[in-house]
Chains A and B, each alone.
Chain A
Amino acid sequence: MKIEIREVTKKYEEKKAIDGIKMVIPEGSFTVILGPSGSGKTTLLRIIAGLLYPTSGKVFFGQNDMTDLPANKRNIAMVFQKYTLFPHMTVEENIRFPLESIKEGKLFKSRTYTDEEISKKIEEILKLLHLEEHRNKYPSQLSGGEQQRVAIGREIIREPVIFLFDEPLSNIDARLRYEMRTWIRRLHKLLKKTTVYVTHDQSEAMALGNLIALLNEGKIEQFGTPDDLYYNPINKFTAQFIGNYPMNFIPFKFKDGDLYYNNEEKIEVPKNILDIISTRKVTKGDIGFRAEYIREYDPKKPVDKEMILIDCKIEDTEKVLDQHIITLKHLNHQLFFVTKTKKEFKKKEALSIVIHSDHIYVFDNRGKRIQI
């Protein structure tokens, strides 16, 4: 089912947690809401779930206005970060509970499922989740991963229209997290239900989602596919947030058809970039490039016209397995540079780097990207 969020705002005593978000989550998609902590992503999810009432705005499931309906009438499923299972019930009772909750009738309600149906369904689910041997255990006797698996199973069994995940893997240890991630992805393929997944971990987001909404301070910075967000960030925040290392930025000034650093030193840039900057009449801004696309300057090779050459000084080096993460200092700002060469780098040495213009992003002084 399609989820549509129309101008939703949530205020907590004058502080806006969600600030007028508009968003359409297509049917059957796996949408990840990504953002730093405090960006309002969980709030947004809870508004979709019906656990929070928005200060203004509306939430639609398909064509239906769901804003005023409380969570228990929305027929959705939600997996929480922690404390997901009822501690006083065994695994089997935990899974049974939602089925017993489904009732029909207006005044005199009766259960939809008979006891036999429930038992049959439970067997299926336990088999699917490989939890047969744990059925009589209490949640406190299970590991974190198992607990989340039971929690997910408990939600699947109800056949809801929408799945919501609120950082379900953040309390699970790193090794298991990867396993669970693939498992959730496979599950989504199997069920083909609209899924909204909240996380602050971008690798999780990249791996799981076919759509990512990047949230910052209650606003959507960018909404698109993972590749879009990585290769085509539309603003500085996205560029900075997505990627293993934060994007490097060098502030510039544009004067008389030339680019300058802050200290009036000229930057040699390819002409096509200069042209665009001049046509857009940008006087100040940042040049951005990713640490992965920096290459060491080889004095033997001449500098291509498409390349930018920057002279730096090594400030710090860090070796992680086969990778070198080098902190460079250029004028006043730090640059990160990642390489896999076996060469040893020493502190305080001079180092020049080159970047190809294809990998350069230009942002204006408001942080908006200028498309080249």
Chain B
Amino acid sequence: MLILEVDFMRTLNRKAILFCLIVFTIFLSLNIIQDNKLALMQVSAQAEETEIVEIRDRSISVNWSIPVIHNFNSFRISLLSNNSEEESTWTMILFNSSIETTTNSFSLVNYSSSGSLHSAQKIFTTNFTSYIVENTAETIQTRITGLQPSSFYTIFLYLSNSSLIQEEGNQVIYSATEELYWNSTFIETKLSTEDALEYSRRATILSLLFIVVIFIVIFYIVARKDVPFNRIAYIFIFPALFALVLLEIYPIIYGVILSFTSYNLKRGEIPKFNWFQNYANVAENPQMPIAFTTTLVWTTLIIIAKILLGFLIAYLIHFKVKRKKLWYLFLYLPWAIPSYIKILSWRTFIQGNSGDSFFNMLFGTKVNLVSQPYVTLIIACFVEVWDSIPLITTLFLGGMSSIPRELNDLAEIDQIGEGTKIRKIVVPLIKPIIIPAIILEIIKTFGSFNVAFFLTKGYPLLSYGTSDAGVIGATDLFSTFTFYMFYHKREVGIAAAYSTIMSLLTLFFVLIWIKMSRGTQSTYQPTKKKLPSRTKNFLPVLGLLQALGYILAGITGFRYFGIHYSSTLNYFIGSFYFLTSIILIFYREKIYNLFKLLIILDLVISVSQFFVLQMWFAFNWNIFIVFFELFILSGINKKSIQYSRSEILRNIRSRVRSFKFMVTNSLKQIDRFLVDMQTLHVIFSLQTLFLLLFNIILKNKSWIMWSVFTIFLVSLSFSFFSNRMLKISIILQIPLHLGLIFSSPPIGWTISQILFSIIFIINYAKVGVNQNSVMTKNSFGKKILRFLSLPNNSSLLLLFVITITFIPIWNIIWIAFASGNQIVPTSFIPKNPTLDNFRLLFTQEEIYLNFGNSLLVALGSAGICVLITTLAGYSFSRYNFKAKKELMVGVFVLKIFTGILTLIPFYLIMFNLGLIDTYFGVILAYSTHTIPIALWIIKGYIDSIPKELDEASQIMGNPALRTIRKIILPLSGPALAITFLLNFLAAWNGFLLAFVLLQSSSKYTLPIKLFTFVGSIEASTPEWGLFAAASILVIIPLLIIFIFLRNYLLKGFDSSIEMGEI
């Protein structure tokens, strides 16, 4: 046995070397072992029926059929091991007509022959182990076990005539004649699971070493080629780049290679290179289009909402309200709250314990995130949008602050209307800054994970989303689906294929981003020479693509490309697209309008089926191509197609315009105050709409509210023609509230209706003040009106946004102090407030351990990050080495590929390096997370320190490192603080990587601990009380840091913002 073991190791070593050679020279591959080829069989001529069924690590299964002519009653299997050079195992099969069950030494085993199960008896004889089976079988399958993994064996099959003889109380097999029936070639058993792990461990370490060596060599060569003064710069950027190569680039390569291997962690297989098998698997999986569609819908909805809302809030804050700083503070406060706490608190608010929630209590609805697909998707989108409002608003605010204040004043003086101002001044000026930022937002939303994981976990499940891989839900995004494949199914290869596909899509956006952000600067500069746009050449290509899609959909019925109503429609639209695109190639300008009409028709049909068929998959990917085409069409210079428009059209257009003028003028003459009353109209319409919503959602059967609604509707339609009607409509507020009293709806509706009424009255009063009407003749009335008109609508709107943000937070605070596991607030302050939850946290849950863990991880990671980025930032700021710009952009682009995209390779690398479930692994994981942004901030800040200072220090004879220590570090405190804090927060709040990497509960960081309290949405007993209390404990230190270090941190930001070009 000992000898065997040693030999086994020798084989392994030889193979490892061979393997590494292959790895190095061809693929840089990691887990690819091509052992299939060794299993080629040579079946001897006399029996083609013999085959080797399965080769495993410790067993081989052989199948053979019993020869027709048999004057033999048994088979003898002889196994020759290559290592020991002797026949090591013997097995004998005896045919017998009956099975003797009386003897005690016989034990029954199962063996299968051609599908049916037979029982055999195992007999221990002195020379062989024998099986006595019925000879009715036609084929025999035998599994030879007890083999050594990764060894060579030869199987011999003899036909023999043998008998079982009793000899001195022992069973002995006596074989008379023997003939070789079949022999195999060398068979190599597979690696055992442990050895496979050993293999991948070695492969990981070796490939890691290889990449490191390659990187160092390239780096060294580049550094040697540069001028001597710059060499120190390379030393300084080395740590940062090295960390990025190890922790970002290497996982990306690893992930791509993994996607070509079949590797399931659960089954403990050896990773095997299987070309595009995983991608085929992805393509065949019917869930993939569902997840893809959901992701597309999700991204579109969210981006549109984010842009609109972000713009609105930024516009209100920047142009409309006073006390900007206060609004800023309220806007940014939620930023200090970790995303996972925010999302989970939304879950408390909306879902609660399976539908028993504050939200449902407030509005009398029956929202349940586990069972209503459409509602859930919209709520998830809402939460995602609300989660990212601070960020997107900041982006817009940054853009708007670059608009010269004078332009706004000028617009005001010239009495340019609000809409015109936005369209002609604000949007064009912020466009060059905002568009790259928005593309980054798209990328982020596309790969977003948090909301879909914490809020819904993919629920509600879709009935048609079932496959072998499990069931997919209405909010299962690409990212969560990938995570599911990896984390629950442990299908590493397939999950890697998913993330590779996602990375490619992301790369596409990144390329657009790079193209868009090239040449944009912080100030608006008109491009001098506008080259004729080539984007319109894409139009026919896109058109043809759509034609192809539709026709394919018609033929194959693949629903995601086409129309679901009927396949004829598909053919029709497809051919129409084809023709139009062909014409578009030759006669470009004349057909644009036709093309536009076509895609709008397409859009209408495609969107309609989404609603009409009420099915997820009825969504049609064409819509996105259509959006793209519309985008291109909108970019085409109008002048270039001007001449194509016929005279008649132009005539009609101008006539329509003059008619419009006439109508508005006459309307103005009828009612001089029409303009002033616009806001009132809007509010009144909103109120009416809200009433309608109220009636529909509550499925109101009582006539009271319906009649109130009818009165409102009638009054609204009249008031569009005359302001007098609108003035009178203030009386309508009385029946509204009477109606509310009588029908007594859930409290949320009542409050909102009252708020609406108040806003209406305020605005009414404001119009009154402006018009100096009859009501304001006495001075007391005037004062009241003036007081009422103080808050303007902009601040009310902002207040509304902020209130919505704070409602779930208040809910969390309420739960934390309430006794028991109560989650639905019944009063503003909980009755009998207790600190039970907090006490439980410290006694039963020992949360201080998790605080310690989080602190350790966050401090470690932030320390590493600041250390390496300071050196790199100095080098980027002060030296002009080769490929500096490219490196800066490259570092930024790398950041985009973190998160779910590199999760799988990262996990495996950490696994193979033995860093799973260690603090060090998590620290490493988070240390590179904020490197790009930190680099930009530090570089920007050092740029603002005069270059002369460190040059003076250098001339005094100080080496660069001493200069940094003595001059740069003391002067760049705020930037260091902010980079430290950013990374600290990333690690403190980071969930995904820590969740995957940490396994023992004593090492959990806070986010995971908090998550374990509530679990995912289907969890039966979420401990909301503990979660709420812990959330407060997590938030408070962050809030304190944010509030007290606000100005210091802002200083760090401010000087880095003027970073100028890349």
Residue positions of A touching B, CB distance < 8 A? 49-53, 68, 70-78, 80-84, 86-88, 97-98, 101-103, 151, 154, 158
Contact = CB atoms under 8 A, between A and B. Distances in A.
Interface stretch (B78-86, B223-231, B527-535, B848-856): B223-231
Interface in B937-992: 946, 948-949, 951-960, 962, 966-967, 970-971
Contact of A83 (B948, B955, B957, B966): B948
A238 B155 CA distance: 101
Nearest to B969: A88
Interface in B507-553: none
Nearest to B228: A68
4 tightest A-B CB contacts, nearest first: A83-B946, A98-B956, A53-B227, A80-B948
15 contacts: A50-B955, A51-B951, A53-B227, A68-B228, A70-B228, A70-B229, A71-B951, A72-B958, A75-B957, A76-B955, A80-B952, A86-B953, A88-B971, A97-B953, A101-B958
Given A75-B957, A101-B957, A80 B229 contact: no
A101 B962 contact: yes
Contact of A158 (B228, B229, B956): B956
Nearest to A54: B227
B228 A98 contact: no
Given A53-B230, A78-B951, A88-B970, A72 B946 contact: no
Given A70-B229, A88-B970, A51 B954 contact: yes
- Judged by DSSP, the binding face of B is helix
Contacts of B960: 72
Nearest to B226: A53
Contact of B229 (A53, A83, A88): A53
Main secondary structure of the interface of A (DSSP, over half): loop
A143 to B, nearest CB: 18
B954 A71 contact: yes
B956 A87 contact: no
A295 to B, nearest CB: 48
Nearest to B958: A101
A72 B228 contact: no
A50 B953 CA distance: 13
Contacts of B956: 72, 97-98, 101, 154, 158
Contacts of A76: 955
Contact of A73 (B232, B946, B953, B957): B957
Interface size class of B (residues with CB under 8 A): 20 to 34
Nearest to A76: B955
Contact of B955 (A71, A86, A88, A102): A71
Given A83-B946, A87-B971, A70 B951 contact: no
A72 B949 contact: no
B959 A82 contact: no
Contacts of A88: 970-971
A50 B956 CA distance: 12
Nearest to A102: B957
Given A83-B946, A88-B971, A97 B955 contact: no
Nearest to A12: B880
B967 A49 contact: no
Contacts of A77: 955
Contacts of A83: 946, 948-949
A72 B232 CA distance: 12
Nearest to B232: A70
A77 B955 CA distance: 6
Contacts of B946: 82-83
A53 B952 contact: no
Contacts of A101: 953, 956-958, 962
Chain A CB within 10 A, most for which of B946, B948, B952: B952
B227 A84 contact: no
Contacts of A78: 951-952, 955
Given A53-B227, A53-B229, A78-B955, A84 B948 contact: yes
Contacts of A97: 953, 956, 966
A71 B947 CA distance: 14
Instruction: With a 10 A CB-CB cut-off, give which of B946, B949, B954, B967 has the most chain A CB atoms.
Output: B954
Contacts of A75: 957
Contacts of A71: 951, 954-955
B959 A72 contact: yes
A329 B1029 CA distance: 89
Contacts of B227: 53
Contacts of B953: 86, 97, 101
Given A72-B954, A97-B953, A97-B966, 15 more contacts: A53-B227, A53-B230, A70-B229, A71-B955, A72-B956, A72-B960, A73-B957, A75-B957, A78-B952, A78-B955, A86-B949, A88-B970, A101-B957, A154-B956, A158-B957
A293 to B, nearest CB: 42
Interface in B212-228: 227-228
A155 B227 CA distance: 28
A71 B229 CA distance: 9
Nearest to B231: A70
Contact of B951 (A73, A80, A82, A98): A80
B977 to A, nearest CB: 16
Contacts of A72: 954-960
Contacts of B954: 51, 70-72
Contacts of B967: 86
B612 to A, nearest CB: 60
Contacts of B232: 70
A77 B956 CA distance: 7
B1048 to A, nearest CB: 16
Residue of A50, A71, A102 most packed against chain B (CB within 10 A): A71
Contacts of B948: 80-84
A97 B232 CA distance: 22
Nearest to A94: B952
B1051 to A, nearest CB: 14
A98 B971 contact: no
A98 B960 CA distance: 14
A80 B955 CA distance: 11
Nearest to A98: B956
A68 B966 CA distance: 25
Contact of A49 (B955, B958, B962, B966): B955
Contacts of B966: 97
Given A53-B228, A70-B228, A83-B949, A98 B970 contact: no
Contacts of B952: 78, 80, 84, 86, 151
B972 to A, nearest CB: 11
Nearest to A103: B957
A277 to B, nearest CB: 47
A70 B950 CA distance: 13
